[in-house]
Structure 1
Amino acid sequence: MVTVFDTVADGDAQWLVTEYVQAMSLDRIIEVDGPLPEARVLRIGVQLATALVAIHERGIVHRDLKPANVLVTDDDVVKLTDLGIARWAEVTQTGGAQLTGTVGYVAPEIANGGQATAASDVFSLGATLYAAVEGRSPWGDGSDGPFAQMNRAAKGSPIPHQLARRLAPLLDALMEPDPARRPSAAAAAGLLQGHDLPRRSWQQRLRTVRRNAMLTAAAAIVVVGAVLLGWLLPRGSAPQTAAPPTTTPPPNSIGLGSDPATADPCALIPVTALREFGKAYVDPEVDGFATCVITSNLDEGIGQVQSHLVLTGPEEYPSRPVRPGVLGEIERPDEKTDRCERSFNLPDTNRVTLVTTRLDKAEQTRLCPIANALILDALTVVLNGPPARRPELPANSLDKVDACRLVDGADAGQAFGKPSEPPVADFGNWGCSWEAGRSELSIKFTRVWPIEPDAEYGGKVIKVGSRNARLIPDPDDKTTCTAMVVHRQYTPKLPVLEDTPEQRQEVVSVVLEDPTAADPTTVCARTEAAAEAVVRRLPDAG
């Protein structure tokens, strides 16, 4: 695939910044040179089939494979281009009824209003190779108009071969009218690689082709680059996704890297994110260290929405099986009144979650199109390999602290009893929890607006050791209390969002849930005692 480096938007115009390929399109080669020799067609075909394997393995359907979208260098290195109408099959809900692809290379099921699938890509591969062999589309050269081509395509009646000779059975297999009877892209790669075997049906031949033939062919193609092309189609339509990542990485290389806690969650949000929805502000220095907050000022002053992209480890109780080494599908719960959530599991078992909520005056705004756009942007980044690392924080930052080391058994015992299980650490060790019977003590590191002057936090301002804190009884649960303890105050490196404080604070939140407590005062007293134990083990705030 052609590498995509960046995107540029200028008003309604959108541009992709791609690598420059010193090559000629296959349709131009056919126009200049005429029908190609069998050996060259096979070299081109095996590379195209391997490229399809790479994108189909990621659930992506190209939907417009044709000679004009195939670049061929002087030494016959092939690059498949123009995923402008590609869609990720797992998240696509539409695709039937509306013709996708180019008429001269479209599969019969698409011409009849069906949905684009991996099988229709295989047909277009066969049609492209047919053109390389015969010098024209299987549905005609278009001189009698696109409707004539469409009619032939809908009937599944290609113009008979004139020049294909030994390649005719292979092309017929790839262009089988019944999509269920076509070989997969991987099978097609094997057939093309093993073209010198005796003539038999493609199913018989495939059994004799070594399973690694496709991998051998992969050495001939550089499958590179990935970019979400969703901005090339309306966000209101079914979500789009990206081209495959650099060099078809092994599944376990798609993840957060060797040290997941250092991954920058904001690196999963490209600079072009949400431009069509309004002005977006990306804040890397609020909430958790594994969180990126995106606030969108919607066009025409209709309000704000806010999205939180969060990196986590595996769920304790996943809603569906997590398969190490396999990129999970995007999970899309129904939109709720005030939020839309999207998430997917990475092959390294870590997880990306995106939650979009309404803020000021955005009651009529649909949240899920925004969440869909952002989660697909994030998917694009991780398909390219591990995301960039977070900027280094000061040595006294909480991001260097292991939350589970801030409480020992004696501290927990004084707060709510002897823990019944070892502590459970959160992602990055930026949180930890202990259980004793029905009670639970938890610690979490967050970055917030200054807590002392902001009455909206509730509770009361206190001192825990020498540090400012807020002690906040839960207004809805009389058995829960939270102590928010300030660790350090800092100035964000980026300009803050308009009408928000200039300073931020790193805070340790200590939460005690104790259903056995007699009253809220008792719970909060124990919470404060646990917070005092935590403060004694915190590093100097400097």
Structure 2
Amino acid sequence: MPEDRIVAGRYRLHDRIGAGGMGSVWRATDQELGRVVALKRSHAGDNGQIRREARIGAGLHHPNVITTFDVVSDGEDRWLVLEFLPSRSLATVVETGGPLSPDAAASVGAQIAGALAAMHERGIVHQDIKPDNILVTEDGTAKLTDLGIARWAEVTITSSGHPGGTPGFVAPEVADGYAPEASADVFSLGATLYAAVEGHSPWGTGADGPYAQLRRAAEGTVDATSRAGVLEPVLAELLGKDPAVRPTARGAKTLLEEITGESSSLVPLPTPRRRSRRSRVLAGIVGVALIAVIALVAVLVSRNSDSTAAGPPATADLLGNERTADPCSLFERSALVRFGIQVYEEPVDGEFNTCRLIIKETQDNSDLVGVKIELARAPKYPVAKHVPGELGPVQYDEQRDDMCKRTIPLPDGKEVVIVSYLFPNNRSAPLCGIADAASSPAYLKLVDARQKGQIPRRAVAFPGDSFANITTCDLLRSDELAPVVGRHDDGESTFGDWSCEWDGPQANVEIRAFRDWQPDADEQIEKIRLGAREAEVESHTAGPGAGERDECEIQIIGRKYEQNTVVNDDWQEEIGVSVKPDVKGAMNREKLCGIAKDLAKRVADRLR
């Protein structure tokens, strides 16, 4: 593009001062006002990117953000008119002058954290914090630029709908496919400061390509620093793998100013006059963010309490007696109300170590989402390494189209598992957003319980005739199981002793106690009698998947009772006795269910 070209009859181009994958930036003169400005043009022409960036920039007036003056059209192009700042990018500063001192990096970081704090409090997420997008003047002033992929409640994020970011500075959860939130900006700020003092991103130099960096980012393991000095503990906070326990941008600003010894007031952004429906949605998002902030403060207080002699000692056993620990006490229904028109508690469904809430998204009862909190013993193969004695960060576990799972490791190795899932007739819901909204207050309550001793006990004890009072491993003897599983095995119990599993070279046998709704009269269910007990038969033939196994389960019916809930009123307790051969097709259904019925008959005879 020729220099001295006049854009929109007003702006004379001089020299190109920057270029990237999305667009180019030129130094220009505003001939009407006689001032130097920067003009940005998208490589893709008028594809909506410039207008989107202009709308976001128009709402930002902050001393550490490049100001947006105007957006103009010239032929088929649309140009963004920006403040011109005589400066170099932080990337250029490090490339030409070498890594910064920890104090210098902290000064830059504190200024950018202040800008991010103001943006986040307006619901704006930058999504691409990196050294190339931070401009630094000769006197050390730092300003944030490039809002090309920023997200705001009133602006579509990108034409493709994909979250943005740069591989070397992206947060682990974003590399793992989650949409960037304010906490991802904080991580990227930490990654930027890491690069400023170490000379390369926390995900490596990029010599092996961006995909290698993305793989490292998804794993979330950051190399130890060698030059960070006093900045190292702050970087450790900003670069935490779990977004729920990272500091906010406001908190990051405070931490960085403690290093520089300078403090400046937080400059708020202008607040819109009107409050639209979209603004109310934004308020809900900020509300959830505040829950996470409260959880973070509690975590920091907990850490401090653990290291001082004052106050009661923190306990490692947060659940106490497994049969009286109340999983429902970890729910905070108010954190979930924004996801539907009503939230119902349904504590009578499923295993005895679980509590469930039902979110009704619309008036139609088919649009239901379940959220389950489960108390569990330490797993054989934990997802992440557990540090004994510490309440671990929320772990981002399994995610499918129909469910999303979060896990909180407890100091003694046990776990609190939060799962959100779709009911059969529901097609879609923000499942991971729901799981995260349930996880934050649960974490806060666990931090509180660590100081008080334990989570609350169940308000009402199980009735005397409840299967919850049974120890499942006592219902079958090793000699009775050996011919089925292929060896003598004492069984392995789970939380509350409400299930027990025997595994051998021939088959797997499991007994579990749980609650379920009573079947409708017209349901096609095979019903049998085992002595004085009613029972139902369910069988499953393995599919083609590698982990699939044939199964037959006999469900022994126990106590029946009524309790009004959104999905059902009539309930029953059951003991399930299941048999799974180790090899697909090793037994036909008749033989498999015959073995299961024989074991179930022995169990029924031992029940009260």
TM-score (norm: length of structure 1): 0.56
Equivalent residue letter for 1:433? E
Kept in 2: contact 1:256–1:263 (CA 8 A) = no
Among 357, 361, 383, which residue is 1:298 paired with? 361
Among 544, 566, 570, which residue is 1:503 paired with? 570
How far residue 411 of structure 1 moved from its aligned partner, in angstroms, is: 2.4
| Corresponding position of 1:233 | 286
Distance in 2 (CA, whole Å) between partners of 1:236 and 1:474 is: 43
| Corresponding position of 2:375 | 311
Kept in 1: contact 2:375–2:417 (CA 8 A) = yes
Among 122, 126, 146, which residue is 2:255 paired with? 122
Any residues of structure 2 matched to 1:233-312 within 5 Å, and which?
Answer: 233=286, 235=288, 240-242=293-295, 243-244=297-298, 250=306, 253=315, 255-278=317-340, 279-299=342-362, 303-312=367-376
Structure 1, residues 190-223: CA drift from partner, whole Å, max 9, x if none? Answer: xxxxxxxxxxxxxxxxxxxxxxxxxxxxxxxxxx
Query: Secondary structure, in 3 states, of the residue corresponding to 2:351?
Result: coil
- Is 2:535 aligned against 1:473? no
Query: Secondary structure, in 3 states, of the residue corresponding to 2:482?
Result: helix
Mean alpha-carbon deviation: is it higher for 239-248 or for 443-452? Answer: 239-248
| Corresponding position of 1:401 | 470
Query: Secondary structure, in 3 states, of the residue corresponding to 1:309?
Result: strand
Query: Would the alpha carbon gap of residues 454 and 508 (structure 1) be closer, same or farther in structure 2, given more than 3 Å must change?
Result: farther
Structure with the larger RCO, 1 or 2 (CA within 8 Å, 6+ apart) = 1
Aligned residue pair count: 343
Structure 1, residues 80-125: CA drift from partner, whole Å, max 9, x if none? Answer: xxxxxxxxx9983233799xxxxxxxx999xxxx983876433455
- Is 2:407 aligned against 1:336? no
Query: Would the alpha carbon gap of residues 273 and 436 (structure 1) be closer, same or farther in structure 2, given more than 3 Å must change?
Result: same
Distance in 2 (CA, whole Å) between partners of 1:531 and 1:146 is: 67
Query: Secondary structure, in 3 states, of the residue corresponding to 1:490?
Result: strand
Kept in 2: contact 1:406–1:537 (CA 8 A) = yes
Among 175, 186, 189, which residue is 1:95 paired with? 186
Kept in 2: contact 1:403–1:443 (CA 8 A) = yes
Query: Would the alpha carbon gap of residues 412 and 335 (structure 1) be closer, same or farther in structure 2, given more than 3 Å must change?
Result: closer
**For the aligned residues, what is the CA RMSD?**
3.8
Equivalent residue letter for 1:531? A
Query: Would the alpha carbon gap of residues 491 and 323 (structure 1) be closer, same or farther in structure 2, given more than 3 Å must change?
Result: same
Distance in 2 (CA, whole Å) between partners of 1:452 and 1:510 is: 22
Distance in 1 (CA, whole Å) between partners of 2:603 and 2:407 is: 33
Equivalent residue letter for 2:328? C
Equivalent residue letter for 1:282? E
Query: Would the alpha carbon gap of residues 336 and 235 (structure 1) be closer, same or farther in structure 2, given more than 3 Å must change?
Result: farther
- Is 2:503 aligned against 1:435? yes
Distance in 2 (CA, whole Å) between partners of 1:536 and 1:461 is: 18
| Corresponding position of 2:153 | none
Structure 1, residues 248-298: CA drift from partner, whole Å, max 9, x if none? Answer: 654862553332332111100024131111211111111111111111011
Among 507, 511, 529, which residue is 2:598 paired with? 529
Query: Would the alpha carbon gap of residues 521 and 252 (structure 1) be closer, same or farther in structure 2, given more than 3 Å must change?
Result: farther
Equivalent residue letter for 2:542? D
Kept in 2: contact 1:482–1:511 (CA 8 A) = yes
- Is 2:489 aligned against 1:421? yes
Kept in 1: contact 2:319–2:455 (CA 8 A) = yes
| Corresponding position of 1:81 | none
Distance in 2 (CA, whole Å) between partners of 1:146 and 1:534 is: 67
How far residue 380 of structure 1 moved from its aligned partner, in angstroms, is: 1.3
Distance in 1 (CA, whole Å) between partners of 2:359 and 2:294 is: 22
- Is 2:526 aligned against 1:464? no
Kept in 1: contact 2:291–2:440 (CA 8 A) = no
Distance in 1 (CA, whole Å) between partners of 2:500 and 2:268 is: 64
Distance in 1 (CA, whole Å) between partners of 2:315 and 2:511 is: 31
Query: Would the alpha carbon gap of residues 468 and 510 (structure 1) be closer, same or farther in structure 2, given more than 3 Å must change?
Result: same
| Corresponding position of 2:518 | 450
Query: Would the alpha carbon gap of residues 266 and 138 (structure 1) be closer, same or farther in structure 2, given more than 3 Å must change?
Result: closer
Distance in 2 (CA, whole Å) between partners of 1:401 and 1:475 is: 30
| Corresponding position of 1:486 | 557
Gaps of 5+ in 1: 1-62, 65-88, 99-106, 131-136, 148-229
Query: Secondary structure, in 3 states, of the residue corresponding to 1:445?
Result: strand
Distance in 2 (CA, whole Å) between partners of 1:461 and 1:444 is: 19
| Corresponding position of 1:39 | none
Kept in 2: contact 1:465–1:535 (CA 8 A) = yes
How far residue 508 of structure 1 moved from its aligned partner, in angstroms, is: 0.2
How far residue 237 of structure 1 moved from its aligned partner, in angstroms, is: 10
Query: Would the alpha carbon gap of residues 126 and 454 (structure 1) be closer, same or farther in structure 2, given more than 3 Å must change?
Result: farther
Distance in 1 (CA, whole Å) between partners of 2:593 and 2:398 is: 37
| Corresponding position of 2:431 | 367
Identity in percent? 22
Distance in 1 (CA, whole Å) between partners of 2:446 and 2:542 is: 40
Kept in 2: contact 1:342–1:372 (CA 8 A) = yes
Query: Secondary structure, in 3 states, of the residue corresponding to 1:93?
Result: helix
- Is 2:480 aligned against 1:411? yes
Kept in 2: contact 1:470–1:485 (CA 8 A) = yes
Equivalent residue letter for 2:597? E
| Corresponding position of 1:352 | 416
Mean alpha-carbon deviation: is it higher for 472-481 or for 504-513? Answer: 472-481
How far residue 417 of structure 1 moved from its aligned partner, in angstroms, is: 4.7
Distance in 2 (CA, whole Å) between partners of 1:115 and 1:249 is: 21
Distance in 2 (CA, whole Å) between partners of 1:436 and 1:309 is: 30
Query: Would the alpha carbon gap of residues 357 and 240 (structure 1) be closer, same or farther in structure 2, given more than 3 Å must change?
Result: farther
Distance in 1 (CA, whole Å) between partners of 2:254 and 2:263 is: 15
Gaps of 5+ in 2: 1-115, 118-170, 174-182, 190-230, 236-246, 270-282, 307-312, 544-548
Query: Would the alpha carbon gap of residues 467 and 115 (structure 1) be closer, same or farther in structure 2, given more than 3 Å must change?
Result: closer
Query: Would the alpha carbon gap of residues 311 and 339 (structure 1) be closer, same or farther in structure 2, given more than 3 Å must change?
Result: same
Structure 1, residues 347-398: CA drift from partner, whole Å, max 9, x if none? Answer: 1211011111112654242211111101112111111102211221111212
Query: Would the alpha carbon gap of residues 338 and 417 (structure 1) be closer, same or farther in structure 2, given more than 3 Å must change?
Result: closer
Query: Would the alpha carbon gap of residues 379 and 459 (structure 1) be closer, same or farther in structure 2, given more than 3 Å must change?
Result: same
Distance in 1 (CA, whole Å) between partners of 2:519 and 2:573 is: 10
Kept in 1: contact 2:505–2:582 (CA 8 A) = no
Distance in 2 (CA, whole Å) between partners of 1:264 and 1:288 is: 13
Distance in 1 (CA, whole Å) between partners of 2:347 and 2:503 is: 32
Kept in 2: contact 1:94–1:115 (CA 8 A) = no
Kept in 2: contact 1:255–1:348 (CA 8 A) = yes
Equivalent residue letter for 2:390? V
Query: Secondary structure, in 3 states, of the residue corresponding to 1:323?
Result: coil
Distance in 1 (CA, whole Å) between partners of 2:172 and 2:389 is: 18
Query: Would the alpha carbon gap of residues 398 and 316 (structure 1) be closer, same or farther in structure 2, given more than 3 Å must change?
Result: same
Structure 1, residues 438-483: CA drift from partner, whole Å, max 9, x if none? Answer: 311110111000147372xx65111112111111121336732100
| Corresponding position of 1:519 | 588
Mean alpha-carbon deviation: is it higher for 290-299 or for 253-262? Answer: 253-262
Query: Would the alpha carbon gap of residues 234 and 96 (structure 1) be closer, same or farther in structure 2, given more than 3 Å must change?
Result: farther
Kept in 1: contact 2:479–2:488 (CA 8 A) = no
Equivalent residue letter for 1:484? Q
